A and B are shown apart, each in its own frame.
Chain A
Amino acid sequence: MISVTSSPIERFGLRFLYVVGRNFLVWRKLMFASMVGNMADPMIYLVGLGFGLGAFMPPISGMRYINFLAGGMLCYSAMNSATFESLYSAFSRLKIQRTWEGILHAPMTVADVVIGEWVWAALKSTLSGGAMLVAMYLLGIAHGWRPLTVMPVVLLIGLAFSGLGLIMTALAKSYEFFVFYFTLLITPMMFVSGVFYPRAALPRAVQVAASFLPLAHGADLARGLTLGLPIAHPVLAVMVLLTYATAGVLVAIALIKRRLLN
């Protein structure tokens, strides 16, 4: 009999780390392609829109357009990474490859698997967000150590969007389902959350609606922390992101339990 004594991971209920580890090993193999998608893409937008569009734009609250855009793009890229990972990649492991089914035959539970996927997608977000931050330093937008404090917020943004994404994955019958999520939720959210232009430009009702969205709060926090600007409602912003993150993962666990353990 091989010794299967409890490791610290198991004693502290951290078995989800095995799922994170599995995904990391796969990611390492495809690292280059993955990094181009997750990091280069938003940077191209930042440079393209920031300098191109920025040449025609007046300063926003006294800052260059590219500076304004950078804070928003950092949050947008974190959202995108977490969303793609928790939708397409997670769905292929759930349905196409049956990877989760295989894991559940081991001494693992649905909660272990879903929390592992949730954390993993958020870690990919921090990689994308971190790359944007490096770009901001290189372009002279960020200065000193203070902008680094945005990283825990990026992780939280990642957890919020991977929680939401995993709910969609739990409900999806096929990849086509995700088109609804992108078209009806993610894309409009991107335009009302103050990523590309200040929310003050929007009608009052839309501004109120946006104040319930995680991206709006994420963008406010990211912009404030990276540029050293005051943040209007920092505690509220963190609370909203925390709520989306925890509610998202709990609902996803319940839905995936119903889907797989029946």
Chain B
Amino acid sequence: MLQVRGLRKSYSGTEVVCGVSFSVAAGQCYGLLGPNGAGKTTTLKCCLGLTAHDAGSIELAGLSIPDAARMARKRAGVCPQFDNLDPDFTVAENLVVYGRYFGIARRAMLERVPRLLEFAGLEDKAKAALSTLSGGMKRRLTLARALVNDPQIIFLDEPTTGLDPQARHLIWDRLKGLRASGRTLILTTHFMDEAERLCDRVGIMDHGKLIAEDAPRSLIDTQIEPQVVEVYGDDVRGFAADIAPRFAERVEMTGETAFCYCRDPAPLLEALQSRAALRALSRAANLEDVFIKLTGHDIRD
């Protein structure tokens, strides 16, 4: 459904996408993960033909991008990172007017609106002004708007950023429904739990390159030790420097917490028993651990 090969894109001399290749089969949910500025949004924009790439090839729904971008966008849906719903229209009008841009007749759109509103959980808001909607409702409406043309493939740029936990779960629920209906989803996210929950495959991007790609579970199995003990409290630095390395394969300090990656946490936990000043949390490794291992602990702005 989507094939990207050797994609490169520079902005005023700085290369932000440096030779990215990946492909997404029909019906899959693919997640592009990466710190801020890794090149995720630019990659999506190139895939939709919204910015011309400098090198490489992109094929979307069997069509070459950017040459056939208009035709390809007819078959795609887009849920952007920043809200660009039309504040001059009501909820239902937003859907009808957006359908017109796809050449869908007003009457056909009016027939589709009730189903789209039901999908968004906004059945009783058809005539509501946009300013009366919460952030979660707006995001659901944006998602419903991305479906006006019944797309085969949907691009979602950080679909749950800025939403509260309840609203996030509702969006996840809808995205799972879309995947179950056989649609292809491409999403970018900062939330590793989101990627782990939704994606069949994830690609981790950093500094414009794809540095790892696999199913979330396989990445956790192959890239990192299976267990993590997080240690924090007084003199955690001394503990991390002198004691922890004896029991854990790898120890990383992030702020005031020592992350001790190991196969068997029991000896480490035993060593911690005698240290009342330190507190510990033992858990299984997750995608976030893989992400931090691969992209580093530094803060990106």
**Which A residues are within 8 Å of any B CB, using their own CB?**
1-2, 4, 6-7, 9-10, 15, 18, 21-22, 25-26, 29, 97-99, 101-109, 261-262
| Given A10-B103, A102-B86, A261-B50: 14 more A-B contacts, CB < 8 Å | A4-B102, A4-B149, A18-B101, A22-B97, A26-B88, A98-B83, A105-B48, A105-B50, A106-B101, A106-B102, A107-B70, A107-B101, A108-B70, A109-B70
Select one of B85, B93, B149 contacting A102, CB under 8 A: B85
Do A102 and B80 contact each other (CB < 8 Å), given the known contacts A107-B70, A109-B70?
A: yes
Residues 93-141 of B at the A interface (beta carbon under 8 Å): 93, 97-98, 100-105, 108, 112
Bound-complex Cα distance A18 to B97 (A): 8
Residues of A within 8 A of B93 (CB): 25
Min CB distance A26 to B, Å, is: 4
Bound-complex Cα distance A14 to B25 (A): 35
* Nearest neighbor of A10 in chain B, beta-carbon distance: B103
CB <8 Å contact, B100 and A21: yes
Residue among B51, B52, B103, B112 having the largest count of chain A Cβ atoms under 10 Å:
B103
CB <8 Å contact, B101 and A108: yes
Residues of A within 8 A of B98 (CB): 102, 106
Min CB distance A103 to B, Å, is: 6
* Nearest neighbor of A7 in chain B, beta-carbon distance: B103
Residues 59-102 of B at the A interface (beta carbon under 8 Å): 70-71, 73-74, 78, 80, 82-89, 93, 97-98, 100-102
Select one of B86, B149, B150 contacting A99, CB under 8 A: B86
Select one of A6, A7, A26 contacting B89, CB under 8 A: A26
* Nearest neighbor of B9 in chain A, beta-carbon distance: A262
Select one of B51, B71, B87 contacting A261, CB under 8 A: B51
Residues of B within 8 A of A102 (CB): 80, 84-86, 98
Min CB distance B47 to A, Å, is: 12
Select one of A15, A98, A108 contacting B82, CB under 8 A: A98
CB <8 Å contact, A99 and B84: yes
Min CB distance B161 to A, Å, is: 16
Q: Report the count of interface residues on B (CB-CB < 8 A).
A: 32
CB <8 Å contact, A98 and B84: yes
Do A2 and B51 contact each other (CB < 8 Å), given the known contacts A25-B93, A106-B73?
A: no
Min CB distance B143 to A, Å, is: 13
Bound-complex Cα distance A103 to B101 (A): 7
Min CB distance A33 to B, Å, is: 13
Residues of A within 8 A of B104 (CB): 2, 4
Residue among A6, A102, A261 having the largest count of chain B Cβ atoms under 10 Å:
A102
9 smallest CB-CB distances across A and B, nearest first, come from A106-B101, A98-B84, A102-B84, A105-B78, A26-B88, A2-B150, A107-B73, A107-B74, A107-B70
Do A262 and B11 contact each other (CB < 8 Å), given the known contacts A2-B112, A4-B104, A101-B84?
A: yes
Bound-complex Cα distance A34 to B152 (A): 41
Select one of B83, B88, B100 contacting A29, CB under 8 A: B88
* Nearest neighbor of A261 in chain B, beta-carbon distance: B51
Residues of A within 8 A of B83 (CB): 98
CB <8 Å contact, B73 and A97: no
Residues of B within 8 A of A99 (CB): 84, 86
Residues of A within 8 A of B100 (CB): 18, 21-22
CB <8 Å contact, B103 and A97: no
Q: Can you list 21 residue pairs at the A/B interface with Cβ under 8 Å?
A: A2-B104, A4-B102, A4-B149, A15-B101, A18-B101, A21-B100, A25-B89, A25-B97, A26-B89, A97-B88, A98-B84, A99-B84, A99-B86, A101-B80, A102-B85, A105-B50, A105-B73, A107-B71, A107-B74, A108-B70, A109-B70
Bound-complex Cα distance A107 to B101 (A): 7
Contact string against A for B residues 180-217, beta-carbon threshold 8 Å, 1 for contact and 0 otherwise = 00000000000000000000000000000000000000
Do A104 and B50 contact each other (CB < 8 Å), given the known contacts A4-B74, A4-B104, A29-B88?
A: yes
